[in-house]
Amino acid sequence: MLPLRLPLLFLLVSVALCQNDDYDYQPASRHGPSGPNCHQDCDCPYNFPTAMYCDSRKLKFVPVVPTGIKYLYLQNNLIEEIKAGVFDNVTDTLRWLILDNNQITNAKIEKGTIDKLSALEKLYFSNNNLTEPVIPPSKSLDELKIMHNQLSKFPSELLSDKENLTFVNVQYNQLTSDAIVGAFKGPKKMLSLDLSHNKLKKLPAGVPGSLEILYADHNEIESVGAGYLGKLPLLQSLRLSHNKLVDSGIPAGVFNVTSLVELDLSFNQLKSIPEINEHLEQLYLQANEIEKFELTSLCKYVSTTSFSHLKHLRLDGNMVTHSSMPPESSNCLRVASDVIFE
């Protein structure tokens, strides 16, 4: 099982870093003397001449980017618009564009700006005022982060040619299930998709089979389609906490897939423990309405070689207690280090 677990750990760490706005750069005071090929309002360190740091300077406009710049940091400003021409010197060389924590709207992004960046690999656009994603033409794009905006639509053609896109995070927006129909079927190498804190009624259809992490917590999802996870043979982590899931919306065996390592169904309205696969390691069911500890949901058969691989099981905030566990539970849950009831 080891080859399966290490990629998931790597992905979870990568996702966490992305959510914490870790751009792998030093504060302005540590940049040192700035090189000559730099805008006057920014810093371009001699020891990193392809980077231009314009972050946290109360800028209202994106400055003209000089030739040779590959990494552009513009987060934590007061930028409201992006004027045509600012990227003309770097249309085929700019790789990173960081625009988090500004005041940018779609209406103030002029043509001839982001739509000309043909080599961009990472686009961070969180904490702005976008209502629709802004996507560069670059086929090298591998990471897209548009968290904490006002996205209400995601046209299906925007990512159709993004064959190298692996990480997409659009949490904390206003996206509905209708608004994302077909939006993520293009990137055939996608590994992680975060749609949490939106207005989804169901899980997204047409996501690529390469997906390993899918977060859709804090939505309005009431059910999971039969066979949905069967179309995602590599999925290892699924989070559906804080939704409206009920027993009737969980088809028999829908979560009984061998790839899953982590399943979070906490803070829903489930009355019974859903059937899982013995390979699952993390199961979160706290704050539901579970009335009975059904061991067969965790172990269909128990033998020397057949048992649950659960390490962590949370059932606190339900109507079951430790005394609800049948005597044979210890054989089924023989590797569990945490079974929490309260």
pLDDT of 28 above 50:
no
State which amino acid sits at residue 113. Answer: T
Residues 219-259 pLDDT 10s: 999 999 999 999 999 999 999 999 999 999 999 999 999 99
Find the range with the poorest average confidence among 36-40, 56-60, 82-86, 143-147. Answer: 36-40
Query: Which pLDDT band, with edges at 50, 70 and 90, does 29 fall under?
Result: very low
pLDDT of 195 above 60:
yes
Q: What is the pLDDT of residue 36?
A: 81
Strands (E), the chain: 51-53, 71-73, 96-98, 122-124, 143-145, 167-169, 192-194, 213-215, 237-239, 262-264, 282-284, 312-314, 338-340
Averaged pLDDT for residues 16-38: 59
The mean of the pLDDT values for the chain is 92
Averaged pLDDT for residues 207-228: 97
Total-model pTM: 0.92
Averaged pLDDT for residues 124-141: 98
Query: Which pLDDT band, with edges at 50, 70 and 90, does 9 fall under?
Result: low
Q: Which residue pairs, CB below 8 angstroms and at least 24 apart, start in 84-91? A: 84/110, 84/111, 84/112, 84/113, 85/112, 86/61, 86/62, 86/113, 87/113, 87/114, 87/116, 87/117, 88/64, 88/112, 88/116, 89/64, 89/65, 90/65, 90/66, 90/117, 91/116, 91/117, 91/118, 91/119
> Cα–Cα–Cα angle for 303, 309, 310, nearest 5°?
130
Rg (CA), the chain: 23
Q: Using a pLDDT cut of 90, give the percent of the chain over it.
A: 86
- The CATH superfamily assigned to 31-143 is Ribonuclease Inhibitor (3.80.10.10)
